[in-house]
Chains A and B, each alone.
Chain A
Amino acid sequence: MGHLEVVQEAMRNDGIDALLLGGEAAGFFVAGHTRIGVHPGGSVLPLTIVPSSGLPHVITGDPDGATHLPEDHVHATRWSPMTLARDLPQWLGGASGLRIGVDMLSPTAHSIIRGALADCRLVDATGLLATVMLPKSPEEIDRMAVLCRFVTAAAEEGLRHGRPGLIAALGGAFPITFPQVSSSAVSVAIRRDGLVAEARLGPGPPSLGERALDALVPGATVDDVAEELPAGVEVVGLGWGFESPVLRHGMGSPSGLRLQAGSVLAVRWAACGVTIALGESGIRFLSLEPDEVAR
């Protein structure tokens, strides 16, 4: 199944009639279009509308990134919440009493959704999205490995030649975090062709990362894993952006999520970090290993 089918099956299982999403990673994942919002930070209004069957609707300033969708599913940026409210019922077939899954939206977004879709009920889609987005396909993991090697090589240039060296080595790839470069450490993350990768090279005891990796096993809840992580270690999902789970300060989010084979995770400690893919019988390093990223 493709991403859309996986999401829609999960929606049916959870009794969700539609998803209204502002987040970039989920939008990339389910609708497959390039650059959803022009400006940074995701959107506090929904930009990706996913019905329980049929194709998604996307709202974008960049229709050239959505040519795989039919033209009546690609919509120009709705700067005005009122315009969005006008169009939502049509995109969702005009039904009433829908159970709508949402991610992080503004109070205005909640208000216009409730006003536009009669008798709808808004529910949190965090758990659904986290579960379906967590396992990557072997092909996606291979692509992320290639990207990880690329960004690691750029980080090595950063260590050797400072920020100018890092930026030149990134080859115009867009950094999705602000590159941090010192004489002893580099941290950088980029997006290319929809997927993200990060590199963190710097001082840090490899044993800390190795102990953290021992705790990452398919089937474990993020809550249990977070409690087992050594102090100072954090784990963040990677894929079409920074994704669930987030394990930090002894807490795992979203609570109750279970790690799965195919999960791609950034494991960070001190100034360094590795990226791994979980398998049923062990982990695959997409980045360098702990003793190699520790400088």
Chain B
Amino acid sequence: MIRLDPPALVAARSRRFENVAGQAGVDSWLLTTALAVRVVTGAWSDDVDLSSEWSSPIVAVCSAVLSPGLPPNDPRLIDMVVDLLPRTGKVAVDRLGADAYDRLRALRPNLVIEDVAPLLVASNAPRDAVEIDVITEGHHRTEAALAAMLHEVREGVTERELSRSFYGQAEQHGIERIHVDTVFSVLPRDVGDAPWARGEWSERSPYRELTTDKILRQGDHVVFDAGAAYCGYAVDVGWTLLAGDGEPSADEVALADEWDEVAHRVIDAATPGASAADLRRAALKGWDPDRPPPWPHPFYVAHGLGVRPAELPFAGTDFGVEAEESMILTSGQVMMIEPYIWRAGVGGYRAEYCIVIEDGGARIISSLPYGQWPARG
């Protein structure tokens, strides 16, 4: 069944998207990924699969939303929707199969096919207050769900059992959806604990985020990262938990302190007009060049957040500094700040601040005391 987001949320997004599309000369769009459909139209379906959004898709063709029955790689899908498309101009598309592109070109030879991705990026911000309120509420609910189960992070439980507890708490706290297999992963304390840290990862801080049946031991550093959704907006909450009842050592406290210093350097740099490259530079300011950069490879030290869980601007990825210089922050943008600090023999610490860029600087909307180890009790 196709459902619709609240009108105020949809209006904000569609207004930005249609403005950007108009400026780019794009008159129509054909979208088959659930997130793009939701961003532009506010429509969504419980039947869409998270595996590939393929078997029961919903499709947006300009203002129309359909549940066509055919997957997006079937060229007959084009025949079903082509009457909704103009004969000339530009159509923005997110993905199709090769035969479906050929069919679209055959039926609409004078319609130029463009990628919708740049339009989605350009229409991310500035977010309306109603959107930021929803994102804030989603984060606070998810953080409350995590806080309610911290006492379960102890020796003898498995990573997967922690996921189970979190899913239960998320349900109780009104989280709409979990769209990423929630991360509860014991971080390696030494390089030898991370045999996968090889090749392109060999010079980077070892990290992991696949939840398994690994059994926790006293004092393990357990990274938590939840990808959830609330009222259609992504929620990204991360923290590092200390297994058991012990107190963090001085080295572990220093690890968390160092994380907070990096995070706040990035947050302080996150002002309207700054670039993603500025955020990268802030993270690396004063950083020992002999150490790996303070974020997990191949991820980012900062990324945007909206309906999509990770959207541009990205700071710290393979886009590189030159591309990051062109990713300009604007007031009303929501971003995640998520460094990762690791020291051999001590372990790792990662958490995530959610911030809103405002004219006077960034405002943290997260509610948990990141930069510290979680307290018990």
Contacts and interface: CB of A to CB of B under 8 A. Distances in A.
Interface of A: 22-25, 34-35, 38-42, 44, 61-67, 71-72, 74-80, 82-83, 102-108, 110-111, 122-126, 163-164, 167-168, 170-178, 180, 189, 191, 196, 236, 241-244, 246, 248-249, 251, 253-255
B180 A102 contact: no
Given A106-B117, A177-B46, A75 B200 contact: yes
A40 B53 contact: yes
Contact of A171 (B72, B160, B317): B160
Contacts of B56: 236, 242
Interface string B46-90: 111111111110000000000001111110100000000000000
B167 A170 contact: yes
B151 interface: no
B326 interface: no
Contact of A103 (B97, B168, B178): B97
Nearest to A62: B210
A19 B76 CA distance: 23
B209 interface: yes
Nearest to A63: B196
B210 A124 contact: no
The interface residues of chain A, by DSSP majority, are classed as mixed
B115 A107 contact: yes
Given A39-B180, A80-B317, A170-B164, A241 B73 contact: no
A24 B210 CA distance: 16
B299 interface: yes
A107 B117 CA distance: 9
A241 B164 CA distance: 21
Given A108-B117, A172-B167, A242-B49, A80 B320 contact: yes
B54 A242 contact: yes
B213 to A, nearest CB: 9
Q: Nearest 10 A-B pairs (CB), nearest first?
A: A71-B199, A76-B298, A172-B164, A172-B163, A242-B55, A241-B51, A42-B52, A124-B98, A174-B181, A64-B196
A45 to B, nearest CB: 10
A61 B200 contact: no
A80 B323 contact: yes
A104 B54 contact: yes
Contacts of A65: 210
Contact of B211 (A82, A172, A180): A172
Contact of B201 (A42, A63, A253): A63
Nearest to A253: B74
B33 A196 contact: no
Given A168-B168, A170-B164, 12 more contacts: A34-B210, A35-B181, A39-B308, A39-B310, A40-B227, A41-B35, A79-B314, A164-B172, A168-B164, A236-B55, A249-B69, A255-B76
Nearest to A79: B317
B208 interface: yes
Contacts of B318: 76-80, 83
A249 B80 CA distance: 13
Contacts of B317: 77, 79-80
Interface string B204-225: 0000111100000000000000
From A23, A104, A176, residue with most partner B Cβ within 10 Å: A104
A66 B199 CA distance: 12
Contact of A246 (B70, B93, B179): B70
A64 B115 contact: no
B211 A61 contact: no
Contact of B33 (A38, A41, A122, A123): A41
Contacts of B160: 171-173
Contacts of B180: 38-40
Interface string B303-341: 000001110001001111001000000000000000000
Most buried by B among A38, A63, A173, A254: A63
B267 interface: no
Nearest to A100: B98
Most chain B CB atoms below 10 A, which of A61, A76, A107, A246: A107
A164 B161 CA distance: 15
Contact of A39 (B71, B202, B227, B298): B227
B54 A124 contact: no
